[in-house]
Copies of this chain bind each other. A is one copy, B any other.
Amino acid sequence: MSIHPFNWGVIAPGRIARNFAEALAVIPQATLYAVASSNLQRAQDFVDEFDGQLALDDYQQLANDPKVDAIYIANPHRFHFDSIKMCLEAGKPVLCEKPLTVNAAQTKELVALAKANNVFLMEALWTRFQPAWQQVKSWLEQQKIGEIKLISSSFGFNIPRDEDDRLLNRELAGGSLLDMGVYNVSMSQFVTQSKPNKIVADGLVGSTGVDERSSVVMNYGHCASQFTCNFLANTENSFTIFGSNGHIRVPSMFWVGTQACLSVHGEPDIVEDFPFRASGFEYQIEEVMSCVAAGKLQSEVMSWQKSIETMQIMDEIRSQIGVRYPFLGE
């Protein structure tokens, strides 16, 4: 690690970026350096609140600033591709909110660019780095529940219907799959360490043309993962891995996992709590800083290949459900 603090830049200081800034505060080497928003006042307010140094109204200026060590991108996913591309072309390491892009072709293009430009790139799938999920991984590696047979998860809330909302906006790549289901998909990959060989999906496509519900079975051969994501009802929102000899559960809300529960047939249940040090984003941020310091271009935990696979799975699900994003020429 260099002696100077690790200077973070933030693109789009909205609600999610607050979690990022709160996490930075508990990482000694990390500094909130610069914040860029299309609205300068919003950038300045964020800088003031989270003790940053520089407010900008130009993303490119942020990417070009030689003092910036890495950039966190938090704009709507429709715009991730352009923002990431700009940062990578400026040689800046990138942590970008999930989903990394809106389809697999975009992700592949960015991965090729990161490779060509020798720049770090990672999808901000923070759940994978949380201590509770590391405990899940450890239990799986120890085969505590035997062979994995089934994964069951959900992510759903009855969200007041507002057709102007980003979530229902097809031009902004809305829909429950890309916004919520990305967690069900990515954490299924995390657990299985593989990709499905078959997918079947059903969905409810509402009047705005996006999936307000997606119900999916992913067949991994040795096991299957079944999930529903939706805007229509508050579902259970836990993530359970059923094995031949018991099950592991991360209770609601699984993507904010601070508890891991192990239930082995014939043994007392084990419940382990892992409270976050801050917002929970701190673990992925530390991963980025550690990878960049080590000269790595990607994280082994949230690798490029896994991001590509996530997007391929979501492409396939969207195709089966019939959700097309016209701005992609679909």
Chain A contact residue count (CB 8 A cutoff):
34
A265 to B156, CA, bound (A): 14
A242 to B245, CA, bound (A): 29
Task: Report whether A244 and B232 are in contact in the complex, using a CB–CB cutoff of 8 Å.
Answer: yes
The answer to whether A213 and B152 touch (CB under 8 A), given A240-B236, A242-B235, A244-B232, is no
User: A188 to nearest B CB, angstroms?
Assistant: 13
A243 to B152, CA, bound (A): 19
A150 to B150, CA, bound (A): 20
Q: Which residue of B lies closest to A246 (CB)?
A: B234
A215 contacts B by Cβ under 8 Å: yes
Partner of A244, one of B158, B198, B320: B158
Within 8 A of B (CB), among A205-246: 213, 215-217, 219, 224, 226, 228, 230, 232-236, 240, 242-246
Task: Report whether B234 and A224 are in contact in the complex, using a CB–CB cutoff of 8 Å.
Answer: no
Given the complex, which residues of B lie within 8 Å of A240, measured CB to CB?
Answer: 236
Given the complex, which residues of B lie within 8 Å of A198, measured CB to CB?
Answer: 202
Task: Report whether A149 and B232 are in contact in the complex, using a CB–CB cutoff of 8 Å.
Answer: yes
A217 to B245, CA, bound (A): 26
User: A249 to nearest B CB, angstroms?
Assistant: 9
User: A251 to nearest B CB, angstroms?
Assistant: 13
Highest count of chain B CB atoms <10 Å: which of A150, A158, A198, A226: A150
Given the complex, which residues of B lie within 8 Å of A202, measured CB to CB?
Answer: 198, 200, 217, 219, 224
Given the complex, which residues of B lie within 8 Å of A278, measured CB to CB?
Answer: none
Task: Report whether B152 and A234 are in contact in the complex, using a CB–CB cutoff of 8 Å.
Answer: no
Task: Report whether B152 and A236 are in contact in the complex, using a CB–CB cutoff of 8 Å.
Answer: yes
Partner of A149, one of B200, B226, B233, B265: B233
Highest count of chain B CB atoms <10 Å: which of A156, A213, A235, A242: A242
A242 to B201, CA, bound (A): 19
A107 contacts B by Cβ under 8 Å: no
